[in-house]
Amino acid sequence: MRVAPFTIAIPDVALADLRSRISATRWPEGAPGPAWSQGTELGYLKGLLGYWAEGFDWRAQEARLNGFRQFRAGLGGVQIHFVHERSREGRGIPLILSHGWPSSFLELLPLVPLLTEPKAHGIEGPAFDLVIPSLPGYGFSQRPQRANYRDVARLWHELMRTLGYDRYAAGGGDFGAGISTHMALEEPGAMIGIHLSTMEMRPATGEGTRPLSEAELAYLKQTRRWDEAERGYSAIQSTRPQTLGYALNDSPAGLAAWILEKWRSWSDSGGDLDTRFPRDELLCLLSLYWFTQTIGSSMRDYYDNRWRGSEIRPGERVLVPTAFANFDHNFVSEGSPPRELAERLYDVRRWTAMPRGGHFAAAEEGELLARDIAAFFAGL
């Protein structure tokens, strides 16, 4: 397998096309009622797109991203993009970190200096060799015909072996937590441990398992309430992602509205994205989806994980040491799951309640997350 250096270089014609499409946006009327109650607020989106077209400097972002060591490797018949940054403090623990949706490898980049040079940042614990891939079908990674959690876990094992690592760790949130879980299930002997910031995979419950505790029942009830109010996006992406993809791939306004509504509601933003994330960071993420035309292929994760065999099978259990960093405002599941629910599936060795931060942990509270990762692996 050939691993080749990779440099981001978006052509000028793509930047001009983006500006042209933004200027030609056909805006709908605003929704009645409180702002954001029916979706992305019109005034916010108009202001953001105006800046995207006239003020945002993609070339500056491109230069910043090209300061990281990036590569592409042939895995499973497709090209996979990844960042590979080695420890600056001697031999590092190999750690592959995976993002989720609607995110990208960009979310995890704040961890690079913190975990490759922890001492320089006042973090106690080991240094790491970081591998940060773009999931198949996101950004500069191609997507095979099928790519559920199990499929991607196998690709990541292949990637780590290709990079010369025999034993390694994994971590992430959202889909990244699902992939890391399946890495531990597929090849536990290769895994040092896994560190998760969301509980993506649910253990089997019901017949043949111990009765649910009051805390577990309350959490599952909260999750059902959230599903009823918020999971419309998942219903369409897990059934008809192609139909939605036509619109989002063609309209910068549609793409921004679809993605940023999730970043607002799932993060510890207090309802105000501008107080939590610099607009340049959000527009860098949107630009990555736009220029690579991968919103459609990224949404197929929901289809493949729902219909193509990524569920936890009866009797499966993660025997690899596992840590959970539970961020206080992870609105995807209305708060943290009870530890006893996680322990049905995982060998939980560390359970940290974070005082702030939400679903996009590395982008929101990179230092808190890095300290927890370092402490967990120091203990192993």
Quote the CA–CA distance of 28 and 25 in Å, as a whole number. 9
Quote the CA–CA distance of 377 and 380 in Å, as a whole number. 5
The verdict on whether omega for the bond into residue 102 sits within 30 degrees of 0, i.e. cis, is: yes
Query: What secondary structure letter does DSSP report for 134?
Result: P
Length of the chain: 380
With contact defined as beta carbons under 8 Å apart, do 166 and 354 qualify? no
Q: Please say if 302 is a catalytic residue.
A: yes
Quote the CA–CA distance of 176 and 267 in Å, as a whole number. 17
With contact defined as beta carbons under 8 Å apart, do 292 and 11 qualify? no
| Nearby residues of 273 by Cβ (< 8 Å), 6 or more positions away | 44, 260, 263, 264, 267, 282
Query: Of these residues, 81, 149, 151, 174, which one is catalytic?
Result: 174
CA torsion 255-261-262-267 (nearest 10°) is 130
DSSP E strands in 67-182: the ranges are: 70-75, 78-85, 93-98, 128-133, 168-172
Query: Of these residues, 44, 165, 219, 302, which one is catalytic?
Result: 302
Question: DSSP labels for 116-143?
Answer: HSTGGGT--S--EEEEEEPPTTSTT---
Nearest to 358 by CA among 103, 138, 34, 184: 103
Question: Residue 295: how many CB atoms within 10 A of its CB?
Answer: 24
Given its phi and psi angles, is residue 243 left (phi above 0), alpha (psi -120 to 50 degrees) or beta?
alpha
Could you tell me where the DSSP H helices lie in 238-294? 241-250, 252-266, 279-292
Query: Of these residues, 84, 99, 195, 359, which one is catalytic?
Result: 359
Q: Please say if 272 is a catalytic residue.
A: no
**Amino acid in position 195:** H
Active site residues: 174, 302, 359
